[in-house]
Amino acid sequence: MKYSVLLLALFAIVFGFSSCQKDNELLPTQLEGRFENRTFVDSLDLWVIIAYDFNRTGTFQYIETVRNTENGNEIGYRRIFPGTYEWNGEIFKYFPENGEGIPLDGNEIYRPKDKLDSFANIIFDYFRPLEARLEFVQNGNTMNYTEVYPEIWEFESQTKAFIKVSK
């Protein structure tokens, strides 16, 4: 009896460490690599690409570009900014930093990367915590991204699918 209790305790400790280790191993690798959301805009006859390049160190780069075809080369850029993030396995909290882009109030759709304005010239203000719910499907090759809004807001969150295109 004494040995079975000892064996049971040892099993519980080993199982506890292995399940924690497996959970922790998933977190950094799922938020690593480039994920793209590709949307065809009929009125422009162009593809708008929103990409997140995640680094396992807790940094990311947001890149918004325009293409003639879904998988083609970029013909121009809309926005680029770096940031940091925290992720607990479900909620993604992100903290953008100053970057570059085109003015949001203009008629311009895109520019060459080297012609983007500093965000000092663009109104880029956040008045709420920036959070999204992330869910990974298809072996981590698709990230479903749902923005989280404060409960007092009457916005309906929409889910965007991002495809993993590189590690």
Name the residue ranges covered by the structural domains of the chain. 1-30, 32-166
Q: Which of 27-31, 35-39, 95-99, 120-124 is predicted least confidently? A: 120-124
Reported pTM = 0.76
Q: Write the burial class of residue 110 (CB in 10 Å: 0-12 exposed, 13-18 middle, 19+ buried).
A: buried
Topology of the domain comprising 32-166: Lipocalin (2.40.128)
pLDDT at 15 over 60: no
Bridge partners of 52? Answer: 35, 62
103-124, pLDDT tens digit by residue? 877 788 999 999 998 875 444 4
For position 167, what pLDDT does the model report? 81
User: Per-residue pLDDT tens for 58-105?
Assistant: 999 999 999 999 999 999 999 999 999 999 988 999 988 888 998 877
3 state DSSP class of 115: helix
- The pLDDT tens digits of the residues spanning 120-153 come to 544 445 667 789 999 998 888 999 999 988 776 6
Question: What pLDDT sits at residue 30?
Answer: 66
Q: How many residues does the chain have?
A: 167
Q: How many CB atoms lie within 10 A of CB 36?
A: 20
- Coil, strand or helix at 108: coil
- Cα dist from 47 to 22, 58, 66, 91, 109, whole Å: 38, 29, 6, 28, 11
